[in-house]
Structures are given as structure tokens and as C-alpha cells.
Structure 1
């Protein structure tokens, strides 16, 4: 509705400007100013001033009041168009600033949708009953079918499976689970059927803690007040007091009429109104945001770009952020004496029957010369098994094999130290090959880390993955510090520790498990291909998972801060100049308005420079 009123007011003002200058055009100007500026001057000016004054127990005006009085003053002295222009520019700047900032609350609705609501509870007589997850208690047993979302934290009593835990740990490779292993709420069960004993009630699960931390940190987020906002009430009160004194004292000191004194006071009011100051940041932030949006970086508010320019440390998740998010084959070895291409044909035939991420990686890596049709059996905990030409072939995790040549064991130890996942390929249970896989760094990660280190910004890798894998990635990229085996609820605490040690911190992530840390950080940055929850609670979104865009965002943010400082200093200089010449009687209403609008145009054009690519 405020924007509709502003559009109506703007239309009336334009009609008044286009028609011959008569009393009717003046009416159009006045009505246009009232309609366009009602929301800003009355609701956010008068009403907010009253509310803030009551809350603080003292008079706390804002610049909206000053601009409203300036417009009223212009009308009183017959400068109708100038009054309308002042109100249109100030209100327009206000609405543009609201648009730039977004004023959007951080939503966690998508996160909540990921929380399981029902479970298959196994009763004492063996029957299965569907119940609300909140009804489950410690020691209860639940049935989890293949493909189901695990409803609650617990221990596996019976069944073998692989579980996608990326929502909790950020690890892209599903974990093999056997009786006695822990499982977590909201993770996804693979092909096995499980019986799980409840070890935590729904309010205490790992996923529930993620939700609680997001909500807690969300509520603690406050927009850092700018210098203008901090001193706005003081400035407005000083101007109102000074003009009131001027109108009363002027006739006594200068022996002028009260009519002239009121006129000079109104001119001074217009001169002191922070029109250019109000627009000093609008064009800059809009231009910076537009520039970044064009480059694939979406900002939810200019304050976050300002924070980004001031960060002293940056923490990054591993999977899907610094890495590609999918495992790839890095090494392959087959024992001598074997026909390698024949083995590859069999291996590809086995893996084509699996939808496991490791299988996909191997199918993409190896090229079969002959397409074989081999019946495949997926044995949970053992891997893939197939019969071909009288032999049994199996590919699975290294620990499931007994007959392993020393040469392959040596390679396995070497590759494992590099943080790689190693699987064995066997013929009749005798291992004849080994394949190493790893979620590799994405192509932009190394240059991005190098850039931030050049800027004197501390870099940290925070991941729920194993230490060996994390350290291998960190070493390759040149990351300063590694925090591995981190639970989701601890990521937020680590960000807080970085804030205490370095100051402002940015967090980059893509998963649900990163959400608490993204909210806790001064700037939360989500990868565009990440989960909806991470995107919704973040401040910046990097599209296409391209970290070079984050480098561009940091550069633009630094330029934005510099241009804002230029605009603010210029606007303050113009106000000081106009106040001086007004006090000396060298400026009238027309001159004040022209200089005001000219200075506003200057700061807007200066801000528009940020639209240019560099």
C-alpha cells in the first residue's frame, strides 16, 4: 500500500508540473507531496518518533520528522514544487533502501519440513503402529524401511544398510551401517530394513539441536547501526532546537520582523535537512547489489555486504563448498598378470547396477570396451557381487576382504593417508585391484583461498568429515586451519570462537548442518546448489557454487564501503555549507533546494559507478 500511495503521489506531482503554473497545479503539488510522503513522514516519522520516545523515556525524533517539517515549511513560504520534490526524493530513497535491505526475516520453514513427524513404532507384542515422533521415548523400538527418513536418533538393533547422512555431517558418501551403529533423525536410509532403538527423544536429537540453534542465533541477529542512524536523533533534535532559537532570537539581535525571521528559519530548516545524506547509501548499495546479482551473487541486504568488507576470518564447509560434492576416481590399480580391460568391463557391468555415488564415479571414470550383462547382488556391508564365466567378482570396502596382496595393502595405506576412500575389486575373493576415490576441490576453491589469505583474512575449514580427508583438502588448497569431525551443533560454537579471536567472521556452507553456523556468522554465505535451508538462513547466496564469485563479492563490498564514505562526507559538507550561507542570509529557498537536489544527484551518480564491472 505505501508504494501504491507513493506512485499516486508521484503521478499527481507530475501532472502539476506538466500543467500551467496556477493554483490548481499548486494543489496537485501539495496533495502529491502528502500522498507520496504519508507513510514516511507520518507513519515512520511521527508514529515511530512517538513510539521510540515512549520506549526510551525521552524525545527521540528521526530524520523523517525533519524532512516532513522541511516540506511543510516550503509550502508555508509558497515553494510548492520544492516541497513536493523534497518529499518525493526522500520517500523514494526510503523505499529504495527498504528494497535494497530486503527487511526479510530469516525463515526456517524449509528446515522444519525436513523434520520427520511420524515413526513406525514396534509394540511389545511385535505389531507395528504409526505414531507421532514426539511420542517416542528412550528404549522404544522403531522400524525403518528402505528409502525411509530415519525418524529419530538411535542405535541399530537389526539390519544392515547405507545411510545418507549429508544433512547432518555434510559427508557426501553414504555411511555403511550395521547393528550397534548410531543413526540420526532426518538422515535417509538406503536399501536395508532396520530396527532402531531410540536413544534420544525428539527434542534432543542432533537435527532438533540444529533447529534450536538456528532459531536462537536468528533471534540474536541485529543489524549494526550505521553512523548516520546512531546520531540521527541527536542531529534532528539539534536542528529543531537551533531553528527554534534562531526564529526567536533573530528579531531581537538583528531587529528583523518575525515574518522574515520565520522565513529565514524555514530556509535554514531546508538547508539542514539531510536529503543528500539520506540518499548517500541508497544508490551505492543498489548498484553494488545489482552488480553482484549480474555476476551471480545474491545479497539479502546492504548491511551484509558492509560486513563482508570488514571480515577478518572466513570459515568454509568442505563438501559442496570447497569440493565438488561428489566423489571421483583419483587412482586405480590392477595386479599384474590380469587382463586389465577385461576386469574393467566386469567392474563397469557390476557398478552400473548400483545407484551408490561411488558406483557412479567409477562408471564415469572407467570406459568399458564390451557391455556385459551380469546379474548383480548388492550385499549390505560387503558390496556388489556378480557371477561371470564361472568366477565370482566382488567390489566393496577394503575391510571386508581377507586375501589382500601386500602391494595393494601398501597402496591402500598410502591413498588413505591422502584422505581418499579406497575400495577393492576381487575375483573369487582374492583382491586383484584397488580404486581410490575422493571428493575433489572445485576449480575455484584454491584461488579463492589464496585471495583471502592475501587480504590478511584467516581461513578455516570446518567439516564433519574425517580428519585425514579434511587435512588433505586443506593442504592442497592452502587453508590456514582445519576443524574436522565436527558435529553440527559445534559448528556454531567454532564460528563464535573465531569471532572472539579475529573479529567479524564469514561462514560459507551448503548443507542443513551448516545452518546454525551460517546464522551465527556476521555474514552467512550459502552455495546456490546447496539445500534450501542453508540458502534461506544465509545473507549472501553464491550461484553455481563458484567461489570466484565470492572473491568478486568481497572486492565489490570493499568498493561499496569506500564510495559510501565518500558520499557521506560530501553530503555532510553540503549540509554544512548550506547552513553557513543560510545563516549569513546568502541563500533563499530556491537556492537551498537546488543545491540539495544537486548534491543528491551527485551522490546517486557516484554510487552508480559500482554498476561497472571491474
Structure 2
């Protein structure tokens, strides 16, 4: 119950209003008139405070009409003709439905609060004299040195200065096993120090940390309604105007055509004003959407707006980047070859020096495999330039070195070394070619493995009748090999970043709604062009900024979950809309037939609103695809 009342003043006033109605009812039974009317009036004013204030504010400041005005007028009208209890009951139930909407908002915001609590408010900064100073985390600056005690949360993103640390990154990666870190490795704010205290250097402003971005994304999503919610809200003012015109006309019809008395005609008009109000219809989409967004946030799926979650269920095709998305992205060198006419150690040292200028996963794997310290040889490269999507060019004196894709490096495909490398590609390996002055002098073969859950994710979308694509910058043989392992229907290889973006547009024309999933800088244009762009949380900042959805934990199984959650959201919204309209039609009809009174009309109308909200709240619970 504490959750229901937490930060929910409307709910507290609703309870007070309900208690006053009970008190007024007792006074009426005991015939304490007009004291009972005074108590009902107090219930009216207290219970209707927030809704009434909102309705009046919208009317005079925004010049718009909403359902709050209809409820206020109906309650006033009932009170004018002596139906104090009915007027108070109307406001009470209307206030209760509004309080439940506030509860939905608060539950949604709890997703942000739980994320914010993962990063500590205070941090221990190490001063130059060796002393520590406790300061607010948001006051840390880049290059500050921070001490993280054993068992404490890492306060901010940075790099490890100590020789070793054991970090629990389950909040980010979903992996329960702590990760070993060595000097120079990245540490992420919000993760936990599972071993001895360590020192770290701050590399990011507090506002740019991963968790800060996550919080912003959830906050933005809550403020961006779904398309259905936006449409329903857009017709609210028009609907209210029609009701305000229709009700007086019906009062006149009841009196002069049906021959009812003035009091009965006015009473039926107040019932009509109540039951014709679109309260339930207005609550059909927003609470459900907010609940679904919160559900996703708890699972580590962040939607930048309700429309992206709502539209996910209508996707016809889904395209994946390969490296770091469908595969682990942690390449390992399996074998290599270098021309006997060159000093192997010197060639490797040149490769290391060039690859240090790149942040590509392949470059990191090569550097990790070939230890410069063990070589005993170092080389200096005068200039290193990266050719996006192809590889690197290095200049050393009068010699030009190229390392990268086959099409970028190899000039003679009949070269025995190129033929040998092709055999590695057929095995599903990624090959980096090295040339010196246009002559192939070596290659390095690396192997990447499918990501956990990749095969199951592809199988799910295929079962749903959704076309699956892999779009990769790797060669066709490697792409086909990985694609076959996980069951992708169509593989598009050798794609540069601009080609990926163009291909997404082509697929969009062919299939309509298309999703693109990626993690790198080269995926950003394609993510932006897709109907829904989904970025892996461990990907680049640019990919996350370009995407519409972020998988914080890099867990592909969250894609089927999100798709099913979207289907559930649309199903519940449709249920709510149909139910709301049917209730309005039914109540209006039975009112004309004089089969209900105002209390029953209030209970039927506002009860339907509460049921619609509660139906939407079901999406707070995990769904099972």
C-alpha cells in the first residue's frame, strides 16, 4: 500500500474524499440535514481538487477543453438539483481513476529511480598529497583520481589505474560472473567492486556517463507518447465540445419531445454528461504505454518513445550488423602467414603500430595477440590514415603499407598467398591482408563466434514471419558462414557504412517497417534510416544516439521479448479502446431508456475507466514470449 500512496497526493485526497462520503452517508441516514450536504460538498472539493485545477488551468491558460471540465459540470449539475451524494460519488470515482494514472506514472518513474540508485551520490577523490576527500559524484572532473573501496559501486566512468580489479558488471551486461580488469581497462559507473579497493581515473563528465544516458533515455521515453495515445489526445477537445453541445440539446429533447419534467430532463442530462465523457477512452493508451516502457527498462531495454515500442509489433523485416551484434565481437587470431622475404618480427611490429591507431575490434584482437614487448622489435610509422570501412594505410619512409580488407589490399587475386587466405575465409574466418608497396606480404586470420542467444533470436523472428538479414562489412564467405550458423535468411556482405544506410532504405521500400540492430559507428547511418534503430548498449555513443531503442545489457534475447511486449501493448490498447467505446454506447442508451440513475452511471462510467487503467497496469509485470 505504501507504493500506492508514495508521491501520490491525489490518491491521499481521494481517500479523504471517500471517508467524507461515508461520513455524509451516515449523517443522511441519521437525518442530520443539511450537515450531510456540507460533508458531501467537502468531499466534492477535496476529491476534485487536482482534476478541477487541471481542467480549469487548461481552459483558461491553454484554451482547451478536457474531460475534467465535463466531470466538474456533471457534479455541479447533480448538486444543483439536490443530488449531493451522487455529485460527491462522481468526483470520488473520477478522482480515484486519476490517482491510478498518477500511480502508473510513479511506477514508470521508479525505473529511473532504481537506475539512479546504482551510482553513488558521493565519491572518494584522491588528492595530490595522498589524502582522500569525499565529494559529490557530479562534482568529479575528467582526470580526477578516485578510490573505490571494496564492495562499493563505481561512481563514474573511467579507466583503471591499479594493476587489478574484479568488477561485477551484471547491471550492464547481465553477466553474473565478475569481470577481471587490468590497468588501463575501462570501468563503468554503477558497477560494483567485488574485490580489493582500487584507483581509477575519471574519463567522462558525470552527465555523459553510461548511466546518465540511460536515465535520460527512460525520462525522454516517458514524455513521448505512443501514436495511439497522441491520436486519442488530439480528439479530446473536439469530443468534449460535441458532448457540451449534445447534452443541452438532449435536455430540451427530453422535456419537449419526450414530455419529461424539467427536473427529470436535467437529471438525465447530467447522467448523459457523465456517461458520455471519454474518460476511459482517454486512459486507454497512456497508462499501458508507460507500464510497458517501465517493463522494458527493468529488463534493460530502453525505448526513446512509446511509438517505437508500439510499432515494433508491426515490423516486417529485421537486419543485424554482424560483428558485436550477432557475434561476440571478441576476435581471436587463429593463424597467420608472412612472406619469407621479410623479417616477420619487423612486419608484426609495423602491424601493431598501425593497428594502435584504430578502435576496431579486429585491431584490438591483433594487438592483444601479438605482444610488442615479446617481439623485441619496435617500428615507427610516420603517418597512419584510416580508410573508413576498408582498413589502414601506413607510411614509413618511402614504403606504403596497407592492412585491411581483401578488396582494399590485394591487387592480384591469383597470388598464392591470396588463394591461401581465401581458404581461411571459406572456413568462416575474417582475414586481414597486409601489403607493402602493393605487394601482398602477409595475412592474419581471426575467428569470431556467434553471440549468446543469436540463433534463438533469429529463429523467433522467422517463426513470426519476419524476414531476417545480416548486413556486414566482412567478405561474403565469412558472412555466409556466420549466417549459416545462426540461421539468417539473407546475408549482405562487403557493405561500407553508406552502403548499409542505402540498403536499409531499399529494404524499407520493399518491406515497409524494418528494424536495424547494430553497435558501431559504421552502423549509425543505417540505424537512423531504419523504421526502428536498435543499438547494443556496449556499442559506440554515436550508435546509441542514432538509435530509437538501446539494449543496455547487449542481450539479444531482449529483442523477442520487446517484440512480444509490443504485441501485448497493442492488444491491451485495442481491448481498452473497444471496451471504452462499448461502455459509452451502452450507458448512453440505457440512460435514454431511464434504466439507470446517476450513481449507477457514475459507477459504470468511472468503473470502466478504472478497469482500463488496471488492464494497462498488467504490463508492469514480465511477459512470456
Return the TM-score normalized by structure 1: 0.61
What is the RMSD of the two structures over their aligned residues, measured on CA atoms?
4.7
TM superposition shift of 1:267: 0.9
Change in 2 beyond 3 A, CA 1:297/1:423? same
| Aligned equivalent of 2:531 | 522
Which whole-Å CA distance do the structure 1 matches of 2:409 and 2:472 have between them?
27
| Aligned equivalent of 1:376 | 378
Deviates more, 1:528-537 or 1:93-102: 93-102
Which whole-Å CA distance do the structure 1 matches of 2:540 and 2:446 have between them?
24
Which whole-Å CA distance do the structure 1 matches of 2:108 and 2:500 have between them?
27
| Aligned equivalent of 2:95 | 88
1:416-475, CA deviations, whole angstroms, 9 ceiling, x for partnerless residues?
4546124689xxx998x9641145442222322222122111223345556565555445
Q: Indicate if the aligned counterparts of 1:574 and 1:599 stay in contact, CA closer than 8 A.
A: yes
1:563-591, CA deviations, whole angstroms, 9 ceiling, x for partnerless residues?
22222222222222222221121212211
Which whole-Å CA distance do the structure 1 matches of 2:617 and 2:257 have between them?
46
| Aligned equivalent of 1:15 | 16
| Aligned equivalent of 2:322 | 318
| Aligned equivalent of 1:265 | 269
Among 594, 598, 603, the residue aligned to 1:594: 603
Which whole-Å CA distance do the structure 2 matches of 1:517 and 1:613 have between them?
30
Does residue 1:443 correspond to 2:452, yes or no? yes
Which whole-Å CA distance do the structure 2 matches of 1:238 and 1:462 have between them?
52
Deviates more, 1:6-15 or 1:239-248: 6-15
Does residue 1:573 correspond to 2:574, yes or no? no
TM superposition shift of 1:553: 0.7
Which whole-Å CA distance do the structure 1 matches of 2:520 and 2:89 have between them?
53
Which whole-Å CA distance do the structure 1 matches of 2:290 and 2:367 have between them?
47
Which whole-Å CA distance do the structure 2 matches of 1:272 and 1:415 have between them?
72
Which whole-Å CA distance do the structure 2 matches of 1:72 and 1:82 have between them?
12
TM superposition shift of 1:530: 2.2
Gaps of 5+ in 1: 51-60, 103-220, 336-342, 386-393
Q: Indicate if the aligned counterparts of 1:528 and 1:541 stay in contact, CA closer than 8 A.
A: yes
| Aligned equivalent of 1:454 | 463
Q: Indicate if the aligned counterparts of 1:271 and 1:578 stay in contact, CA closer than 8 A.
A: yes
Which whole-Å CA distance do the structure 2 matches of 1:353 and 1:460 have between them?
33
| Aligned equivalent of 1:183 | none
Return the TM-score normalized by structure 2: 0.60
Q: Indicate if the aligned counterparts of 1:66 and 1:273 stay in contact, CA closer than 8 A.
A: yes
**Where in structure 2 are the equivalents of 1:60-459 lying within 5 Å?**
63=67, 65-76=69-80, 77-78=83-84, 79-89=86-96, 91-92=98-99, 224-225=227-228, 228-229=232-233, 232=236, 235-326=239-330, 328-329=331-332, 331-332=334-335, 358=362, 360-361=364-365, 372=374, 374-377=376-379, 379=381, 409-416=418-425, 418=428, 420-422=430-432, 435-459=444-468
1:356-403, CA deviations, whole angstroms, 9 ceiling, x for partnerless residues?
75565357669x9xx9572433556899x9xxxxxxxx998799999x
Which whole-Å CA distance do the structure 2 matches of 1:477 and 1:310 have between them?
23
Change in 2 beyond 3 A, CA 1:503/1:382? closer
Change in 2 beyond 3 A, CA 1:29/1:533? farther
1:36-83, CA deviations, whole angstroms, 9 ceiling, x for partnerless residues?
125642344665565xxxxxxxxxx65455445445445544234324
Q: Indicate if the aligned counterparts of 2:527 and 2:543 stay in contact, CA closer than 8 A.
A: yes
Which whole-Å CA distance do the structure 1 matches of 2:228 and 2:285 have between them?
13
TM superposition shift of 1:505: 2.0
Relative CO higher for 1 or 2, CA cutoff 8 Å, sep ≥ 6? 1
Which whole-Å CA distance do the structure 2 matches of 1:282 and 1:430 have between them?
61
Change in 2 beyond 3 A, CA 1:612/1:419? closer
1:504-558, CA deviations, whole angstroms, 9 ceiling, x for partnerless residues?
2222233445445434433232221123343344332212211111111101211
Gaps of 5+ in 2: 25-34, 110-223, 339-343, 385-391
TM superposition shift of 1:272: 1.6
Q: Indicate if the aligned counterparts of 2:93 and 2:603 stay in contact, CA closer than 8 A.
A: no
Q: Indicate if the aligned counterparts of 2:333 and 2:366 stay in contact, CA closer than 8 A.
A: no
Which whole-Å CA distance do the structure 2 matches of 1:354 and 1:534 have between them?
22
- Other structure's SS at 2:267 match: helix
TM superposition shift of 1:287: 3.5
- Other structure's SS at 1:325 match: coil
1:461-513, CA deviations, whole angstroms, 9 ceiling, x for partnerless residues?
34555656555544544434445555555655543433332222222233445
- Other structure's SS at 2:328 match: strand
| Aligned equivalent of 1:564 | 573
TM superposition shift of 1:266: 0.6
Which whole-Å CA distance do the structure 1 matches of 2:352 and 2:105 have between them?
54
Q: Indicate if the aligned counterparts of 1:93 and 1:279 stay in contact, CA closer than 8 A.
A: no
| Aligned equivalent of 2:591 | 582
TM superposition shift of 1:90: 5.2
| Aligned equivalent of 2:553 | 544
Q: Indicate if the aligned counterparts of 2:251 and 2:265 stay in contact, CA closer than 8 A.
A: yes
